[in-house]
Amino acid sequence: MAHYRTAWISDVHLGTKGSNVEALLEFFRIHEFDTLYVVGDLIDIWQLRRGIYWPQSHNDVIQKILRKGRKGTRVIYIPGNHDEFISHFHGHYGAVEIEPRALHTTADGRRLLIIHGHELDTVVQNIKWLAFVGDVGYQTLLRLNEPVNFIRRKMGLGYWSLSAYVKMRVKDAVSFIGKFEESIVRYAQDYNVTGVVCGHIHAPAIRKIGNTDYYNSGDWVESCSALVEDFDGQIHLIKNFEAPLPVKEESALASEAPEPESPAPQATA
């Protein structure tokens, strides 16, 4: 069990078939944190409005977060654009604090602004219908991830995101990510901080932009990533985290092994 001072996760998108909840549940199982930031889009209300999809495993994620809170982890939930309905309920709810943004001080004394990031997305803020259309196309790519990775598993290959590949190969998307990061850093400078942590664009990163440390916790749809802070104040990116194969699959493979042949009976006089 790995123990960290702080962890940041974002963009889980519960309520969608593309959410890699098994990987996130395994991440929670083998990691403990003093503080956990949920940096927006935990639940995808946009998708749930189109049709209800909520298997037990999505309940398990909520229960796991609440259980960590009951056991002493400080849980801070910062809503994003897909779960913006929660943004009207700031305050303490049991073990969970809901805030529009937060300030975090690392173990080595650096101040970080924590925001989801949709506040700096001009499409989300000003052309919401276009954001909804783009989300439909994105969900279509995510659905294609499942058959692609089914074939890859059969070939003994690891998880690969078609949607992430397409996004990073589209010139406009790459340009948008760069402009988004620069906007986030300019916004953070008003808070007199040394760095900023965000999510929203599903592009995990740790980099220096000017004099500001930029951190993006990624997502649990494509990159299965999180940021973690150790007790020296160093922040690390965990990326492409995968859940192990279910035990029942291994058992099934074992049961298919041929049984040793019994020796032929010997004739007796």
pLDDT score at 6: 98
Q: Indicate the domain borders of the chain.
A: 2-246
Distance CA(150)–CA(247), nearest Å, equals: 18
Nearest residue to 76 via CA among 100, 61, 98:
98
pLDDT score at 256: 43
pLDDT score at 134: 47
Which CB contacts under 8 angstroms, 24+ apart, belong to 209-214? 209/181, 209/182, 209/185, 210/185, 212/185, 212/188, 213/110, 213/112, 214/181, 214/184, 214/185
pLDDT score at 139: 54
State the fold for domain 2-246. Answer: Purple Acid Phosphatase; chain A, domain 2 (3.60.21)
Helix (H, G, I), strand (E, B) or coil at 66: helix
Distance CA(44)–CA(41), nearest Å, equals: 6
Task: Using alpha carbons, list the distances in angstroms from residue 86 to 15, 58, 71, 91.
Answer: 15, 18, 24, 11
Helix (H, G, I), strand (E, B) or coil at 148: helix
Radius of gyration of the chain (CA): 22
Nearest residue to 64 via CA among 98, 86, 83, 36:
36
pLDDT digits (tens, 9 = 90+) for 9-21: 999 999 999 999 9
Distance CA(78)–CA(18), nearest Å, equals: 21
Give me the tens of pLDDT residue by residue for the chain, a chain 269 residues long.
899 999 999 999 999 999 999 999 999 999 999 999 999 999 999 889 889 999 999 999 999 999 999 999 999 999 999 898 887 888 999 889 999 999 999 999 999 999 999 888 643 343 343 344 445 455 555 665 667 666 777 787 776 665 565 555 544 455 567 788 988 999 999 999 999 999 999 999 999 999 999 999 999 998 999 999 999 999 999 999 988 766 544 444 444 444 444 444 444 43
Helix (H, G, I), strand (E, B) or coil at 18: coil
Q: At what angle do helices 56-70 and 21-30 cross, to 10 degrees?
A: 20
> What region, left, alpha or beta, does residue 40 occupy, with left being phi > 0 and alpha being psi -120 to 50 degrees?
left
